[in-house]
């Protein structure tokens, strides 16, 4: 899969952020619906995994890959306490973002909003909460990776001030 790399050109303190998947949000759409006051956000916990996985599987453009199993996500959450977020409407999880850092850069993975809750600013809210957590961790750089074949995800990040950075090619190896 080929990825485009973006950076946030408008944040006074940028964070490195990698995003895999779709996070469509029509915050700047004049017809966008107002977010319900009933939607709350909180830290993502391991017990949220099944609901998060079900949401990731329903959101177009998001790919579940190695490391996205319960054990991998639990390890990620333990290594990055307090950074990942879920949004709930009553007891239902309607948005999720995995967020972590390596000491130099922050990363957001699988930012997803239930299609029935999109266009309400929820994707932006989750992104902002993740970036605030990364800022509190002392990070100063942000990058994201968005699949070229994920136009909804690319539009979301562009609408929120991220721009493509030419040059780098993403490479990986299975361990």
Model confidence at 9, in pLDDT bands (50, 70, 90)? Answer: very low
Q: Which of 1-10, 44-53, 123-132 has the lowest mean pLDDT?
A: 1-10
- Of 168, 125, 173, give the one whose Cα is nearest residue 144: 168
Confidence check: pLDDT of 22 > 60: no
Closest C-alpha among 171, 164, 97 to residue 134: 97
Look at residue 170 and tell me if it is in a domain: no
Report d(CA 135, CA 30) in Å as an integer: 30
- What's the pLDDT score for residue 16? 32
Which runs of E-coded beta strand occur in 34-136?
39-43, 85-89, 92-101, 106-113
Reduce the DSSP state of residue 71 to 3 states and report it. helix
Residue 53 lies in a domain: yes
Is the residue at 90 inside a domain?
Answer: yes
Task: Choose the weakest-confidence range: 14-28, 34-48, 119-133.
Answer: 14-28
User: Above 60 in pLDDT, residue 32?
Assistant: no
Residue 175 lies in a domain: no
pLDDT reported for residue 126 = 96
CATH code at 107? 3.40.630.30
Q: What is the pLDDT of residues 128-168, one digit of tens each?
A: 999 999 999 999 876 777 878 888 888 888 898 878 878 87
Share of the chain above pLDDT 90, in %: 49
Residue 103 is encoded by which pair of tokens? 């000491």
> Looking at the domain assignment, is residue 172 inside a domain?
no
Q: Report the pLDDT value the prediction gives residue 6, as an integer from 0 to 100.
A: 44
| Burial (Cβ within 10 Å: 0-12, 13-18, ≥19) of residue 111 | buried
Determine the pLDDT at residue 151: 87
- Among 23-37, 39-53, 63-77, the least confident range: 23-37
Distance CA 88, CA 96 (A): 9
Look over the chain and give the mean of its residue pLDDT values, rounded to a whole number: 80
Domain count for the chain, please give it.
1
Q: Which two tokens stand for residue 32?
A: 């966008």
What is the strand order of the sheet 144-147 is part of? Answer: 144-147, 3-8, 162-164
Torsion of CA 88, 100, 32, 87, to 10 degrees: 0
102 is a domain residue:
yes
pLDDT band at 35 (very low <50, low <70, confident <90, very high): low
The answer to whether residue 169 sits within a structural domain is no
Look-up of token digits 């990776």? 145
* 70-79 helix and 49-58 helix, angle to the nearest 10 degrees: 110
Between CA 145 and CA 2 the distance in angstroms is 9
Q: Which residues form the domain of 20?
A: 3-164
């Amino acid at each position: 899969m080929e990825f485009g790399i973006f950076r946030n050109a408008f944040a006074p303190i940028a964070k490195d952020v990698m995003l895999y998947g779709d996070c469509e949000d029509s915050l700047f759409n004049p017809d966008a619906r107002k977010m319900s006051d009933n939607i709350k956000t909180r830290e993502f916990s391991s017990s949220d995994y099944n609901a998060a996985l079900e949401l990731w599987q329903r959101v177009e453009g998001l790919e579940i890959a190695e490391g996205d199993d319960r054990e991998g996500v639990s390890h990620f959450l333990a290594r990055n306490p307090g950074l990942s977020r879920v949004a709930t409407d009553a007891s239902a999880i309607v948005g999720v973002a995995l967020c972590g850092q390596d000491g130099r850069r922050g990363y957001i993975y699988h930012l997803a909003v239930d299609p029935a809750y999109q266009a309400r600013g929820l994707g932006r809210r989750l992104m902002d909460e993740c970036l605030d957590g990364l800022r509190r961790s002392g990070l100063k750089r942000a990058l994201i990776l968005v699949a070229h074949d994920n136009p909804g995800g690319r539009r979301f990040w562009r609408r929120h001030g991220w721009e493509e950075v030419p040059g780098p090619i993403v490479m990986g190896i299975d361990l």
